[in-house]
Every structure is written in C-alpha cells, then in structure tokens.
Amino acid sequence: MVKTKKKKSKKQKRTIKNRYEAKKYIEILNLAYKQITSSWHDIFDKDDYLLLPYIKQGIKKGWKILHNKNIIKEIKCNSLCMTMAILNSTLGNRKNLEQLNPVQQLYLFFISYLVDDSNLSKKEVTLKHAIHKIDIRIMKEKQKLEKYEKKKDNRNIKKCNKYIEKQESSKKQLIESNGLNKEGVWSAFKLDVCNSIDCEYLHEYKMEKGKKWNESYSKFCLNITELFKGIVWLNMYMIFNRTTKIKGLSPYMNRIELDILIRDAFFYQDIILIPDSYIYQSELFYNNHTVDQAKKKTVNDPSYYPLDKKYWVYNINSKYGTLDKMKVCNLQNKHYVAAFLSIPYDSHWKSPSEVKEKEQYVKFQKFLQGKNPQPILKEIYKSTRKIGDEEKFDLQENIENSITLHWIYIHKDQLSHYIGEYV
C-alpha cells in the first residue's frame, strides 16, 4: 500500500517559511556578533526565531526612515560618521526594499531603533529600570574596588568607596520617595537606546509575554551595540570588496583597507561640504565678483535670524568637474551626504585670526584643486574603547589630512535649518 503524502496546511507552510526566513537573519546576526567580538560563540539559536516579526517590522520602518526627508540620519552607538553617511546614501539610492540583501536589510532594522529620535529622547525610564541602572553602577564600582584593594591603591580605593556611598544614597532617596525625588539622579532616568537596561525598558511589553520572549529580547538588548557594529562591519566589507559572500569570513580580520580620496568621492556620491561660521564670514573664501559677494552678503545679513539666512554649500559642478558654491535653495530635491568643514591650521592657536584664516584658505584651495596632501579615507578598523566605565568593542575610521568634523545623511529641505542651528 502506497502511503499518500499528507498536504501541509497554509498555517504549516507559513510556519516553515517564517522559520526559514528567521534562520537567515539569525545566522547573520550571529556572524555579525562574532565579527565584532572575535568570538566563535553564537548568541542566538532556533528558539530566538520569535524575533522575526520584530525584525521584519524594523526593516520596513528603517526603509521609511532612510527615505523620510524630515528625518536627519544620525545613527547612535557608533564612532563612524563618513562611512555611515556613505552607507546610508548607498542604500538610500536603491529604488525598492527588495533590492537589498539580508545584511543590508538588517542594517535598516538597526536604523529603525538607533536613529536619533527627538520624541524618544524626551522619555524617561521607569523607577524600576532607574534603580537597576544604579545597582549596575554599584556592582561595577565594587569590581573596580576589589582590583584597587589587591594593589593597595589607597587613592582609588577612597574614590570608589565615595562613589558607591553616593550611589547607595541615590538609590535610597529614590525608593523612599517612590521615584518622586530625582535630585542628583536624573542621569539614571535618561533614556539611552545604546544602554542594555534602557533597551529592555523599551521592549518591556514584548519581554513580559513569556519566558522565551524574555530570553530572546534579553539577548538582543545585552548585545545591542555589538550586533549593530557587526552588521555595519559586514556591510562595509561587502561594499568596499564588491562582494556579497560573507560566509566563513574570519572574525580575526581587524581592518578593511580603503584608500579613498575624499575629493574623488564627490564624483560618484551626492556629497556637499558645509562651511563653518569662519568660512562664511571670511573675505578670503569669496571671489571679488558680484555673484560671490552677493552670497557673502545674504549669508551674513544681520537682519536675518540664523535659521532664516540664505546659506550656501560646496557642491560638485558636473559640467566643469569643480567644487563650487551653491545656494541650498538651488540644490536638487533629494538627500545628500553632508560634511561639516573643519580645516586645520599649523599656527599656534593664539596666533592672529587672519594668519589662521590664510592657512585654512591655502589648504582648502589645495583640496579644491586636487593638490596634495589630500584627505584620504584610509581604513576602517576594529578597536576597543572606554564608553562610560566599560571597555566596549568599537569601529573606527582613519581619515588622513582630514578637513571635516562630522558627516550626516540629510535631505535638502532640512539643510538650511540644520546649518542655522549648528554652524
């Protein structure tokens, strides 16, 4: 008798499909974690597949954020700015979400959680989470105290004991006032999406669904920064090596060599340079003709409030292959990679301002003309960095001969307001 194969129901088919899709993302997250920590240990397993709906929702939200002209893309929990802005631009230029591979999609998922949110920054964690933060501070300080006691370092022993006493007092103050007296302990209530405790607070509803949910979201929150930086590392590896093959990638690879001339990047990325206030005001940076002098006048007009001034930026002139001044209002209606100029000078900081301005002008003219030394994005590399009281895994970018301070991904409509606020 031939056994007939039982047909799977729609629910069973959907479950199989979801498990396959979840497995794909879980494996990449495990790889990302191992890349940034140089570990061979997986943190997620098959029981964490219940994260799939959250991941898929985050990917869709991240795609919308990336294309939302009202949101300035400044991603928290990282030390990269130029390479992150270029990554945002690279993904933002894709026409639809389906064009992105799973590693790129997971980057969008992290964007949905880590992008600077003015509404979220106004929120505070609960009393329970604030006390948990203080308990963590006390525990870590006690660990430091043990080390100092072994070394008989009396100076640092005294410091540690004083800090522990202060935290114990703050904790007692909060408990006795039921969280109403926050004097001196506001920092414990401040919401930081990069902090594992605050991450758990933001996912509290999901974590209370049951033991499995709690375990999966705890794994995510406890390793939030490592997972994100690992995903960034994988994306950078794929972009700059022009490959999608990441399986078997050694976690001991510590740097990605780039050697990108920043001036050349203007020809294949939508990049603009935002002058600082000294450049906007300096006569040296304006030619002695009507158009340039008009730009100087409108950007420095005292009758305008800073947010209402007619700002200009440096943008590529595709016709002549030069970097020219362009009014923000004349830029194309799209997103740009924007870099804030910060041109160094060689003189002593107490030197007259005209001497420093002259040196900055000469250096910038060399940049515009393509003369050496040119700013070069040399590499991205793994490192560890002290964040708060902890040594954390991090990514750094090495820009030689830099003339910029910060890079963001921003829509033209937000530029004038942003410049008026920060320049």
Residue with tokens 């396959």: 20
Under 8 Å between Cβ of 299 and 280:
yes
SS3 state of residue 96: coil
Under 8 Å between Cβ of 29 and 44:
yes
Cis-peptide into 352, omega within 30 deg: no
SS3 state of residue 1: coil
Under 8 Å between Cβ of 282 and 298:
no
> How is residue 102 written in tokens?
């799973």
Angle formed at CA 90 by CA 86 and CA 91, multiple of 5 degrees? 120
Tell me the Ramachandran region of residue 393: left when phi exceeds 0, alpha when psi lies from -120 to 50, beta otherwise.
beta
Q: CA 216 to CA 54: how far, in whole Å?
A: 11
In Å, what is the CA distance from 93 to each residue of 66, 88, 334?
10, 9, 10
Strands 322-327, 312-317: pairing is: antiparallel
The contacts of residue 397 (CB under 8 Å, 6+ apart) are 79, 80, 81, 82, 83, 377, 379, 380
Q: Which of 217, 191, 205 is nearest to 114 (CA)?
A: 191
DSSP code of residue 75:
B
> How is residue 227 written in tokens?
């997972």
Task: Please give the model's pTM, rounded to 2 decimal places.
Answer: 0.86
Q: CA 58 to CA 193: how far, in whole Å?
A: 15
Sheet holding 390-400, edge to edge: 255-261, 376-387, 390-400
SS3 state of residue 350: coil
pLDDT, one tens digit for every residue, the chain (423 residues): 555 566 667 666 777 777 888 899 999 999 999 999 988 889 999 889 999 999 999 999 999 999 999 999 888 888 888 999 999 999 999 989 999 999 999 999 999 988 866 555 567 888 888 898 899 889 888 988 999 999 999 999 999 999 999 999 999 999 999 988 888 888 888 878 888 888 888 888 888 899 999 999 999 999 999 999 999 999 999 998 889 899 888 888 999 999 999 988 888 788 999 999 999 998 999 988 888 888 888 888 777 776 667 899 999 887 777 888 999 999 999 999 999 999 999 998 888 888 999 999 999 999 988 889 999 999 999 998 876 666 788 999 999 999 999 999 999 999 999 998 888
Strands 404-411, 255-261: pairing is: unpaired
Q: CA 45 to CA 33: how far, in whole Å?
A: 13
- CA 56 from chain centre, in angstroms, equals 21
The contacts of residue 105 (CB under 8 Å, 6+ apart) are 59, 97
